Amino acid sequence: MDSLNKKGKMTPNFNTTPPKTINDMVTDQMRNNPCCFFCIMKEPDTSLRRSCLATCFNEMSVINRDDQQHVLVLSGLWNIAMAQPDDPEFISLGIFDCMVSLLEKGTNDRSWLFRGQNIYIPYYAAHVIGSYTMNKVEFAEKAVVAGVIPPLMELLRGKISWVEQRVAVRALGHLASYERTFEAVAAYEEELVRLTMNLASTCLDQVYTKFVGVKDENKRSKYHCDLLTRGVGGLEMENRKAEEWASQLQCWSLYLLNCFACKERSLNLICNQGFLVDLCGMWGGLVNHSSPAGVGLIRILCYSKYGRQNISESKQVLENLCHLSRSSDDWQYMGIDCLLLLLKDIDTRYKVIEIVTMFLIDLVELKSLGDRSNLGETITKTLLLDYKQSKFRIKNSHVLKALQQTWELKEERRKREKTMSVEKIEEKRVLVNLIKQQANHVFWLGDVEEAIKMYNEALDTCPLKLRKERMVLYSNRAQCYLLLRDPDAAIRDSTRALCLSNPTNSHGKSLWRRSQAYDMKGLAKESLMDCIMFINSVTTTTTNKRVKIPYYAARMISKQMEATWLFVNAKSKFTRSDDDYEISSNEDDHQLECDEMMRQMMMMMMQKKSIASGLSTIIEEPLIAKGKNWREMERARRRNKTAFNVMARSM
């Protein structure tokens, strides 16, 4: 307004500025108040809140100040995107353009990235993109239009670190999963596939050498520690979260490759023999049990002729699938699916039949597995496909004998027993129980070989309809083979017993016996899964409120947790001294980490297997106290050989 001069006259005020609009006031407040975003979110007036948020996103894109504002706002956006990934409000206000701008700053301006707390920004920005493109193709299309793919590719190339690679591959996987945005991702197809394959194969080594293997807290990246634990927890918590994130990084990389394999794209790259072998060792484990990991991609490849051809040429991949098909792993059905697909293809059938037959014949009496019914019948029909002609093409006498036994069991014997009366079946039941009791008596007299012969006789006599009786006979014979140190025969019989159990894979004694047999063969993952399922069977059948895990089973889990630790191979590669990292080889420290990890993972797995919530009291003391060495562990195992015999007494 005008002002008065010394003579009292009005003079115009040329410095007067126009009144500020709401948006101007919001912008000023944002520049001075880093909490402004959170105040805006509380604004009850919808139109005012949207206007302020749009201004907020625009200011974040263009302001080049080095304060904490961006990190605080992005942290809030990260929480909102995780909790409400389908909310369209932020999408319509330009959040993707804002995230792209921040990612481009982080990947192109290193000096800006390392000032203040800007190092956190690319991680949060990529995570927000991944969360909002997770469920809705409409959001994914808007993200592509905003230009999210180029900066995400920069992160995938390793422009910053493995932490940013994790969220980048997650976001790209979501974009590649939609038909309408796949081609935008596929514009980088060859480079993307090669980068992702390399990331899946090497990420565990990277995380171990750059983080988990660095025992000195002061030498660890501070922002990695903060992101992993959100500022809560010490070294142990950081290691556990790093293991979880490393597993996710690997599994999300495989998911992105799945998107191309489903469309039979880049199969010439993905079906590299070395990479197929690597896939066999990629296991989500107990920290990421919801992902099929490597076997999921192998199964997708088995749906294509090119994929089947390459898989059939790798003995290591076939053996891995065979072991999976006879395990209690949640992904057992995927291993069976892969083997059946290979057998049904005439071009690969006779390349694989001599390997897979000796495994699948143990599953022919399987009734159901998950939502798959009559799976044993499907396996039988596939094995006996062109049976009479195939006899001339198979050279292995053991395979021919196995197929002949399957034919007699599932075809000829079934026909003979089809007309058997109820009275005759009951007579057979009585006779079988009598033979079993005699076999048990002979077993306890120490004549294990004679006991096996008597169990054989009982199995030949027992009608196929008496599934429970046959289950016990197979399981008891498996115990005999264990004592004779024949793990292969023990695995065969315990697998057959588990196929006959109801539900499948629920017979506790067979699970424990197969766990021991797998341990003899050095198959730690299979042994671990069986042991966990055995503990599940023990705890679900007890009537006591306070459940206790048998000591011998806890020792087995401790041993196999050590052998299947996600970083076990990385640790073996990098235990020697390194100029850049101090990697500890102290067994006691690592064993303590494994013990604590075992507690957490067992709880997670047990909950998944529907164990009571009060299971937290199961393990009262650490399985291996600090300072014990492996020699003491071995002595403890020897002292507990009696536990092995305890299981046999209930035969």
Q: Is residue 529 part of a domain?
A: no
pLDDT in tens, 329-358: 999 999 999 999 999 999 999 999 999 999
Mean pLDDT for the stretch of residues 400-425 = 91
pLDDT digits (tens, 9 = 90+) for 354-381: 999 999 999 999 999 988 889 999 999 9
Nearest Cα neighbor of 590 from 628, 537, 543 is: 628
The answer to whether 555 and 623 have CB atoms below 8 angstroms apart is yes
- Tens-place pLDDT, residues 280-312: 999 877 777 788 999 999 999 999 999 999 999
pLDDT confidence of residue 136 = 95
Q: Which of 274, 247, 235, 82 is nearest to 162 (CA)?
A: 247
What are the CB-based long-range contacts (under 8 Å, 24+) for 593-600? 593/236, 593/239, 594/558, 594/561, 594/562, 594/565, 595/558, 595/622, 595/623, 595/624, 596/236, 596/240, 597/240, 597/243, 597/561, 597/565, 598/557, 598/558, 598/561, 598/623, 600/240
Closest to 121 measured CA to CA, from 98, 144, 141: 98
- Peptide bond before 622: cis, by omega within 30 degrees of 0? no
Find out whether 636 and 555 touch, Cβ atoms under 8 Å: yes
The pTM assigned to this predicted structure is: 0.83
Give the domain range for residue 151: 33-216
Question: How wide is the angle at C-alpha 535 spanned by C-alphas 525 and 554, nearest 5°?
Answer: 70
**101 part of a folded domain:** yes
Number of domains in the chain: 1
Report whether pLDDT(601) > 90.
no
Residue 544 has pLDDT above 70, yes or no: no
Q: Which of the residue ranges 1-10, 117-126, 209-218, 598-607 would you say has the lowest mean pLDDT?
A: 1-10
Instruction: Specify the pLDDT at position 650.
Output: 47
Q: Which residues of 409-439 are buried (b: 16+ CB within 10 A; e: fewer)?
A: ebeeeeeeeeeeeeeeeeebbeebeebbeeb
Q: Which CATH number fits the domain that encloses residue 181?
A: 1.25.10.10
Confidence of residue 232 (pLDDT cuts 50, 70, 90): confident
How many residues comprise the chain?
651
Quote the pLDDT of residue 651. 58
Instruction: Please tell me which residue, 493 or 19, carries the higher pLDDT value.
Output: 493
Quick check: is 273 in a domain?
Answer: no
Is 306 part of any domain? Answer: no
Asked whether residue 50 is domain-assigned, the answer is: yes
Lowest mean pLDDT: which of 336-350, 406-420, 434-448, 508-522?
406-420
pLDDT > 90: percent of the chain: 64
**Is residue 452, in this structure, part of any structural domain at all?**
no
3-class SS of residue 583: strand
- Residue-wise pLDDT for 97-151, tens only, equals 999 999 999 999 999 898 888 999 999 999 999 999 999 999 999 999 999 999 9
Band (pLDDT 50/70/90 cuts) for residue 23 is very low
Report the pLDDT averaged over residues 255-264. 97
User: Stretch 483-503: mean pLDDT, rounded?
Assistant: 96
d(CA 334, CA 295): 7
**Residue 85 included in any domain:** yes
Q: How many CA atoms lie within 13 A of 145 on its CB side?
A: 11
The whole-number pLDDT of residue 545 equals: 64
Amino acid at site 519 = D
pLDDT at position 234 is 83
Q: Are strands 368-369 and 10-11 parallel, antiparallel or unpaired?
A: unpaired
**Cβ–Cβ < 8 Å for 511, 505:** yes
Residue 114 lies in a domain: yes
User: Residue 63's pLDDT is what?
Assistant: 57
